[in-house]
Structure 1
Amino acid sequence: MTAQETSPALLRAKRDRRRALMLLSPGIAWMVLFLALPMLMVIWVSFWTQTTFAVTPDLTTASWERFLTTPTYLDAILTTVRIWLTVLVATVVVGYPVALYIGLFVRSKTVQTALLVACVIPFWTSFLIRVIAWRPMLGTEGAINVILMKLGIIHEPLTFLLFSEFSVLVGMTQIYCVFMVGPITFMLGRIEPSVIEAARDLGASFWTIFRRIIVPLSLPGVVVGAIFVSVMVLGEFATAASLSGRKVNLLGNIIVSQVGSLKWAFAAVAGVVLTLIITAVISLALRLVDLRKEM
């Protein structure tokens, strides 16, 4: 070995690389075993031959061709993307003002914590209970219709409130809004009050401060919240099945129905398509903001 290869700096660098590899190896092994290999298995199964009562490992593109040429499944993709976009916008519109109030206008950390805990109280009960609880609210004889009729705003029950795409949007927005509130509140809480005070001293109005300071500094929180909401909404099936009366067909519902029918290959195709959509959404979100730099 040469003197350069045995220099203390080089030996120390090699030792640091070995130590870093040892520290990373459990995480890498976990990712390979429980993420990469299962995903590769799903892709492989999507090319298996599917018959009425069985699936064989003979590779074919029949399931892919059927999925990509059937209007029902193409409509399911469009419906999934449309509902995802609508819920994403709705959670930002509803969640941002709540996060703004908690993160900037509430000075006490104790009160902030209490308000955030109040936002997650619904998660103390079952997911299905939270979904089904909307039925007595949105039904033709539900609370909303009864209140509107007693106030004289309507003269007959509104039928679109339940078992429709509207009810699915309402349910998903309520369920996942907290995942938008949390990250935005965290980022707003990091804004130094002195920055806002300096802007006020310079004569900036509230809307100027909001547009030029608050929104840019809270954008990483919006992106993180959007990732959380997107992953969960795109993979949804229970809310759509419970509140739409199976009138809204999402990719998640197709996967569940195909697995229930033991059509593993076709379910794998839908799973791969859904994974590609989620990956594209997350990649786009991460391109908007460098989270490693901002968080």
Structure 2
Amino acid sequence: MSAAIKNLFSRAAPAWLQAGPYALVFLLFFLLPLALIVAVSFWDATEYELIPAFVPKNYVAIFEGCASGPDLCVTFKTYLSTLKFCFLTWFFTLLIGFTVAYFLAFHVRTPGMQTALFVLCTIPFWTSNVIRMISWMPLLGRNGLVNDGLMATHLISQPLEWLLFSPFSVVVAFIHLFTVFMIVPIFNSMMRIDRSLLEAALDAGATPWQTLWNVIIPLSRTGIIIGSIFVITIVMGDFVTIGVMGGQQIASVGKIIQVQTSYLQFPLAAANAVILLLVVLMIIWGLTRLVDIRKEL
């Protein structure tokens, strides 16, 4: 009996049995909640109750007025505002993240120093996002260090109002919070580049800029795409950063969903969430067309 049990466990389990636990987790914590959100988005609601039904009124309400008039409707304006924050955050996090990853991968020689500096980049994650956002207020406020410094040097005569509770402060906070999501995958891709390719490019007469553009960037594209997906998906659904750094005055899709949820408008919030999910999936689909991530990893 013991020999039979030992023989049973010594053999590899079938593929379906190995994938079973992961499939169950995927079903329970992703597909099922997503299906519930889609179902609730078609429900009806009154001031006092939710009514299970299949009505398109929530989607109609979201796009109400979008087909008439020369001006953009509220929904389109909100999505444009969210996409603007998303693009600016993506651009600056990519610029900073690529620079930091390039320095760590190609200019820091010892593995110990690379590890130390890489860990240094993760130190902001040791504190809450809210605390990191609040830390900008003494710097960017009307009586903050930036305004006091500019006024002390007579570069301005009165405090700059747009430094805090503005689109500028929202983008600054996004960059501060999410740059590390760009650094990590790009650094990982750069560390996998064969250094002999760089030597071959230099031996062939390529300048450092040509080597960067024709060798390093193409070989780092997997990390760039993965980092871009991380940053874009987080920013598109964010409402805390925009609420805190925007002074509750700037609209975003995530903020609208949060407000609707707080007012117990769950079907309308679910419909907005489904539309947001579709928009994000289209962006991710476009990014994954640029590189086959599964092949590259």
Tell me if the contact between 1:99 and 1:185 (Cα under 8 Å) persists in the aligned partners.
yes
Give the aligned partner of residue 249 of structure 1. Answer: 251
Q: Is residue 51 from structure 1 mapped to residue 46 from structure 2 by the alignment?
A: yes
The alignment partner of 1:177 has SS state of helix
Distance verdict in 2 for CA 1:52–1:72, change over 3 Å: farther
State which of 189, 200, 221 in structure 1 corresponds to 2:223: 221
Give, in whole Å, the separation in 1 of the partners of 2:257 and 2:191: 40
Aligned residue type for 1:251:
V
Aligned residue type for 2:249:
K
1:79-98 equivalent positions in 2, closer than 5 A: 79-98=81-100
Give the aligned partner of residue 30 of structure 1. Answer: 25
Aligned residue type for 2:212:
F
Deviations 1:232-289 (A, max 9, x none): 1111000000011112111111111111111110110111111112211221111111
Aligned residue type for 2:40:
V
1:36-185 equivalent positions in 2, closer than 5 A: 36-69=31-64, 71-185=73-187
Q: CA RMSD in A?
A: 1.5
The alignment partner of 1:106 has SS state of coil
Give the deviation of 1:152 after TM superposition.
2.8
Give, in whole Å, the separation in 2 of the partners of 1:192 and 1:153: 49
Aligned residue type for 2:109:
R
In the alignment of these two chains, the number of paired residues is: 280
Give the deviation of 1:54 after TM superposition.
2.4
Give, in whole Å, the separation in 2 of the partners of 1:278 and 1:140: 36
Give the deviation of 1:176 after TM superposition.
0.1
Q: Which moved further from structure 2: 218-227 or 147-156?
A: 147-156
Give the deviation of 1:58 after TM superposition.
2.5
Aligned residue type for 1:176:
F
Aligned residue type for 2:285:
S
The alignment partner of 1:81 has SS state of helix
Q: Which moved further from structure 2: 269-278 or 73-82?
A: 73-82
TM-score by structure 1 length? 0.91
**Deviating 4+ runs (over 6 angstroms):** none
Give, in whole Å, the separation in 2 of the partners of 1:27 and 1:279: 22
Give, in whole Å, the separation in 1 of the partners of 2:294 and 2:54: 41
Q: Which blocks of at least 5 consecutive residues in structure 2 are unaligned?
A: 1-10, 66-72
* Identical amino acids, percent of aligned pairs: 36
Give, in whole Å, the separation in 1 of the partners of 2:144 and 2:123: 23
Give the deviation of 1:69 after TM superposition.
1.5
Tell me if the contact between 1:188 and 1:218 (Cα under 8 Å) persists in the aligned partners.
yes
Give, in whole Å, the separation in 2 of the partners of 1:136 and 1:56: 48
Aligned residue type for 1:48:
W
Give the aligned partner of residue 284 of structure 1. Answer: 286
Tell me if the contact between 1:53 and 1:262 (Cα under 8 Å) persists in the aligned partners.
no
Deviations 1:32-77 (A, max 9, x none): 2221121111111111112233221132111111111253333222
Give the aligned partner of residue 6 of structure 2. Answer: none
Q: Is residue 234 from structure 1 mapped to residue 236 from structure 2 by the alignment?
A: yes
Give, in whole Å, the separation in 1 of the partners of 2:216 and 2:153: 39
Give the deviation of 1:129 after TM superposition.
0.5
Aligned residue type for 1:273:
I
Q: Is residue 209 from structure 1 mapped to residue 211 from structure 2 by the alignment?
A: yes
Give the deviation of 1:151 after TM superposition.
2.6
Tell me if the contact between 1:55 and 1:263 (Cα under 8 Å) persists in the aligned partners.
no
Give the deviation of 1:210 after TM superposition.
0.8
